């Protein structure tokens, strides 16, 4: 029998770890900072047969008001130290590092390619898993390979070796990475190109200003709630369905960008969920379009998320 690692805490409220500032407690919670701690937590979770959910920066999740009845493995800050990029622009970066922090560092070092990703909150791990993107650049465009641990790895194998998955096997698609399902992302190897720090840094400033002008960044949110439908924009469909600014409890369809649902203060997950359902229904009635959710739901029962 393995002893319970000290890193594992009970009943930790998750709301403050999400960009929505919404969500109840995790039954168990761990935030390992290195491989040894991570392996200890995983081994114990397997022994106890706990359901496990990885959390990165919490910027694309909605956590239920009841919380999560299992172990939340929080990887923001995991292995927070930088390796040096190779002279030809290959760079292995840990999943726990914040995406924006890395994008800035790359620009300062004169490595180009990631500038368009500035302004996307969250970690490298979350960015890779979601294949986050903006301004026609996706994280997956820059990834060469990803190091992972399989969630169902053999417990008798104490010398746990991560697997390196080449980008071609991940199936990077629009906000999806089917080849990474059921895996814990430890790090990714990116390919950047030589660039000019002054040009890259100027690009970062311009992109951040553009985002500030278009997005309700002063309010807690998860960014875009729905994926972009083919040939249209979710925000336009929601606005023309008459829901821009619509309030339900503490949640509101942002008056600035209708694909953002913002927490105006004291919003519950139930408020946001009800608004998601209302939007889907109205857009379907008005435009005949079935919007697909982008935000990841944590701790909800299957029947609660039907119709979202
Ligand atoms: C203001 C705002 C603006 C945004 N703008 C954009 C945008 O322009 N483009 C865009 O694509 N997204 C955007 N987002 C959404 C979000 O920032 C991205 O999806 C981000 O990449 C999520 O990273 P995260 O670390 O916060 O992941 P989380 O929200 O913590 O998790 C998201 C998913 O990734 C999984 N995950 C996280 N880390 C790991 C890991 N190490 N191993 C395995 N699985 C993992 C989680 O289990 C979960 O399924 C925005 C969000 C906000 C709040």
What pLDDT is recorded for position 306?
84
In this structure, the residue with its CA closest to atom 34 of ligand 1 is: 126
The verdict on whether 200 is a catalytic residue reads: no
Residue 135 resides in a domain? yes
Do both 70 and 102 map to the same domain?
no
Do both 70 and 94 map to the same domain?
no
Of 175, 78, 68, 85, the residue nearest 125 (C-alpha):
78
Given a cut of 50, the residues of the chain with pLDDT beneath it are none
157 Cα to the center of ligand 1, angstroms: 31
What pLDDT is recorded for position 156?
60
| Ligand 1 neighbour 130 (Cβ under 6 A) | yes
The verdict on whether 105 is a catalytic residue reads: no
C-beta of residue 52 within 8 angstroms of C-beta of residue 150: no
Total structural domains within the chain: 3
CA distance 95 to 99: 9
50, burial (CB in 10 Å: exposed 0-12, middle 13-18, buried 19+): middle
The rounded Cα 262 to chain-centroid distance in angstroms is 17
CATH of the domain at 249: 3.90.78.10
| Ligand 1 neighbour 23 (Cβ under 6 A) | no
Residue 206 resides in a domain? yes
The verdict on whether 7 is a catalytic residue reads: no
Do both 210 and 242 map to the same domain?
no
Q: Which residues are CB-neighbours of 151 under 8 A, at least 6 positions away?
A: 52, 182, 183, 184
Do both 210 and 248 map to the same domain?
no
| Ligand 1 neighbour 222 (Cβ under 6 A) | yes
* Other C-beta atoms lying within 10 Å of the C-beta of residue 81: 8
Do both 141 and 204 map to the same domain?
yes
What pLDDT is recorded for position 152?
75
Residue 226 resides in a domain? no
What pLDDT is recorded for position 240?
98
Domain containing residue 15: 9-74
Q: Which position among 46, 175, 227, 228 bears the catalytic label?
A: 175
Do both 199 and 261 map to the same domain?
no
In this structure, the residue with its CA closest to atom 17 of ligand 1 is: 121
Do both 94 and 182 map to the same domain?
yes
Q: pLDDT tens for residues 185-236?
A: 999 999 999 999 999 999 999 999 999 999 999 999 999 999 999 999 999 9
Residue 221 resides in a domain? no
Q: Which two tokens stand for residue 36?
A: 């040894």
What pLDDT is recorded for position 45?
92
| End-of-domain residue from the set 17, 43, 74 | 74
Do both 116 and 182 map to the same domain?
yes
Q: What is the pTM of this model?
A: 0.97
Q: Which position among 59, 64, 95, 224 bears the catalytic label?
A: 224
Residue 225 resides in a domain? no
Residue 219 resides in a domain? no
In this structure, the residue with its CA closest to atom 11 of ligand 1 is: 132
Do both 152 and 263 map to the same domain?
no
The rounded Cα 58 to chain-centroid distance in angstroms is 6
| Ligand 1 neighbour 93 (Cβ under 6 A) | no
CA distance 276 to 262: 12
Residue 84 resides in a domain? no
Residue 160 resides in a domain? yes
């Amino acid at each position: 029998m393995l002893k319970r690692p000290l890193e594992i805490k009970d009943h930790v409220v998750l709301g403050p770890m999400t960009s929505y500032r919404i969500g109840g407690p995790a039954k168990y919670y761990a935030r390992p900072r290195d491989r040894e701690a991570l392996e200890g937590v995983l081994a114990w979770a397997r022994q106890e047969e706990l359901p496990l959910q990885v959390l990165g920066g919490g910027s694309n999740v909605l956590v239920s008001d009841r919380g999560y009845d299992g172990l939340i493995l929080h990887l923001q800050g995991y292995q927070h130290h930088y390796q040096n990029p190779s002279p030809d622009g290959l760079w292995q970066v840990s999943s726990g590092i914040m995406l924006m922090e890395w994008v800035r560092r790359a620009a300062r070092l004169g490595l180009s390619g990631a500038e368009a990703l500035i302004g996307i909150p969250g970690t490298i791990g979350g960015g890779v898993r979601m294949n986050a993107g903006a301004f026609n650049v996706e994280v997956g465009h820059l990834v060469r390979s990803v190091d992972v641990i399989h969630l169902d790895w053999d417990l008798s194998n104490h010398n746990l070796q991560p697997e390196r998955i080449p980008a071609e096997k991940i199936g990077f698609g629009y906000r999806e990475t089917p080849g990474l399902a059921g895996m814990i992302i430890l790090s990714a190897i990116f390919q950047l190109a030589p660039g000019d720090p002054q040009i890259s840094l100027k690009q970062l400033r311009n992109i951040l200003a553009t985002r500030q002008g278009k997005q309700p960044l002063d309010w807690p949110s998860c960014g875009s709630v729905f994926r972009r439908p083919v040939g249209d924009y979710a925000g336009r469909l929601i606005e023309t369905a008459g829901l821009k600014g619509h309030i339900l409890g503490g949640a509101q369809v942002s008056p600035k960008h209708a694909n953002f649902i913002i927490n105006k203060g004291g919003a519950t997950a139930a408020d946001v969920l009800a608004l998601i359902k209302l939007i889907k229904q109205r857009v379907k009635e008005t435009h005949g379009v079935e919007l697909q959710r982008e935000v990841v739901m944590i701790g909800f029962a299957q029947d609660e998320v039907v119709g979202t």
